[in-house]
């Protein structure tokens, strides 16, 4: 049986030596592939139901680091036991995303789930113009988060205000884009991979790219393919996480 409550310093030291040493174990970090249409909290609830409330209570802590929008898929880090206190370390890890942007359309949420606010009727920019515009977003810069985001304004999440129809003005924040690569322009769609720091919104990049090109743009697909050393290839099923929790709690399945 796994030790349910080792000293956090031991876990933190192991993580600092090699983050993958705590991969897919209890206490530790599990990589899940979040499906489209499900919230990050919803995926966590699915694990809790599979594991059983008693086993989760014995575990004491179960959380996730780095929320994904319902539209997005890919790497979601679920933390179990004392490893939940690794949140700041996990949140600081570099992120890699595969994105698809639709040019010629703007929405209030900067993605396909929002209300359309503008359509472009003229010709779209050339692939060369798109690549040149994307390249200008690399490096350290200031980015304005989307109005539909969890960023706090006056103590409340911006999306709560936006859903009520209130105008949301958020301050730019420092972010870093370390690479934009594998750019492909396919008609009205732009596919690319972006490697970025914590706090970066790919939805804002899609919106800002559309503004820079003068035609508008919205995010229509997003997959988080990597968080630090944890990749989509490391992903396990929610049932596997639940079984590990049950084993750590000394409970039989059924």
As annotated, the active-site residues are 69
From CA 9, how far away is CA 225, in angstroms rounded? 29
Radius of gyration of the chain (CA): 20
User: Would strands 73-80 and 28-34 be described as parallel, antiparallel, or unpaired?
Assistant: antiparallel
**Which conformational region is residue 209 in: left (phi greater than 0), alpha (psi within -120 to 50 degrees), or beta?**
alpha
From CA 54, how far away is CA 251, in angstroms rounded? 9
Q: Which residue has the tokens 């720091």?
A: 197
Q: Which residue has the tokens 């003068």?
A: 214
From CA 57, how far away is CA 17, in angstroms rounded? 29
Q: At what angle do helices 238-248 and 40-51 cross, to 10 degrees?
A: 50
């Amino acid at each position: 049986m796994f030790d349910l409550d080792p000293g956090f310093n031991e876990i933190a030291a192991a993580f600092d030596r090699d983050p993958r040493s705590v991969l897919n174990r209890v206490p530790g970090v599990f990589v899940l592939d979040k499906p489209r249409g499900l919230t990050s909290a919803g995926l966590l609830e699915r694990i809790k139901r599979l594991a059983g409330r008693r086993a989760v209570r014995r575990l004491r802590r179960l959380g996730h680091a780095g929320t994904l929008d319902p539209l997005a898929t890919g790497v979601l880090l679920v933390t179990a036991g004392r490893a939940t206190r690794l949140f700041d370390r996990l949140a600081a890890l570099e992120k890699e995303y595969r994105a698809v942007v639709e040019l010629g359309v703007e929405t209030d949420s900067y993605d396909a789930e929002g209300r359309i606010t503008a359509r472009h009727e003229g010709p779209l920019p050339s692939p060369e113009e798109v690549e040149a515009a994307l390249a200008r977003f690399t490096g350290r810069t200031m980015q304005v988060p989307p109005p539909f985001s969890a960023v706090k304004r006056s103590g409340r999440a911006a999306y709560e205000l936006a859903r009520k129809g209130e105008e949301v003005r958020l301050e730019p924040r420092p972010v870093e884009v370390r690479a934009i690569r594998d750019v492909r322009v396919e008609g009205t769609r732009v596919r690319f991979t972006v490697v970025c720091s914590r706090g970066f919104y790919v939805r804002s990049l899609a919106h800002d790219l559309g503004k820079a090109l003068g035609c508008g743009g919205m995010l229509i697909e997003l997959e988080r393919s990597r968080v630090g050393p944890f990749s989509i290839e490391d992903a396990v099923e929610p049932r596997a996480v639940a079984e590990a929790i049950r084993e750590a709690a000394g409970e039989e399945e059924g």
